[in-house]
Amino acid sequence: MDRNSLILSLPFNTTSPPLNWSSIDCCNWEGIACDPRGYVTHISLPSKSLTGNIFPFLGNLTHLSYLNLSHNLLSNTLPTGLFSSLNQLTVLDLSSNYLVGDLWFQFSSEGLPASIQVLDISSNYFNGRSNPRSSNEH
């Protein structure tokens, strides 16, 4: 099941050498690590010249604790509800991409997992209110 979720959620193109994702077992794929039961726990694909979008199927990887897609060419908005099932996620690094959208809405509607210890979403094109209460104050 994790293999299918990876294929659906990471349909990236790359302008650098292709990722070694030829094995049937996704736990042997470049940048992917699994726990002893075969659940994907780490996705580490920084600086791979990945292009495309982040898809909602990533949320099916409920054992994911580490996600680093930094320094790529990923674009568009983050899927609504992406983080709602990633309650084991401790590291989220999406920095230095071309991601856009209203972060306040994304994180206020579902919140970040309480397990997050490292969050880096810098150097993107996100927007949103810096203080959600300021829009109600005159």
Written as one letter, the residue type at 27 is: C
Q: Distance of CA 88 to CAs 18, 64, 119, Å?
A: 29, 6, 14
User: Residue written as tokens 């927007």?
Assistant: 127
- Mean residue pLDDT of the chain comes to 82
First to last CA, the chain: 51
Q: What is the mean pLDDT of residues 25-42?
A: 92
CATH number for the 2-130 domain, one of 2.60.40.420, 1.10.274.10, 3.80.10.10, 3.60.20.10? 3.80.10.10
| 8-state DSSP, 120 | E
The residue ranking higher by pLDDT, 110 or 58, is 58
| 8-state DSSP, 68 | E
User: Residue 42 in contact with residue 33, Cβ under 8 Å?
Assistant: yes
Q: Give the pLDDT confidence of 62-99 residue by residue, as tens digits.
A: 999 999 999 999 999 988 888 888 999 999 999 999 99
> What are the tokens at 1?
């099941």
Q: What is the pLDDT of residue 136?
A: 43
Radius of gyration for the chain, computed over Cα atoms and rounded to the nearest angstrom: 15
Q: What is the mean pLDDT of residues 95-104?
A: 89
Question: What phi and psi, each to the nearest 5 degrees, are found at residue 6?
Answer: -65, -45
CB atoms within 10 A of CB 31: 17
Beta bridge partners of 51: 13, 73
Query: pTM of the entire structure?
Result: 0.83
Measured distance CA(122)–CA(138) in Å, rounded: 30
Domain ranges of the chain: 2-130
Q: What is the mean pLDDT of residues 18-45?
A: 88
> What are the tokens at 24?
């049937």
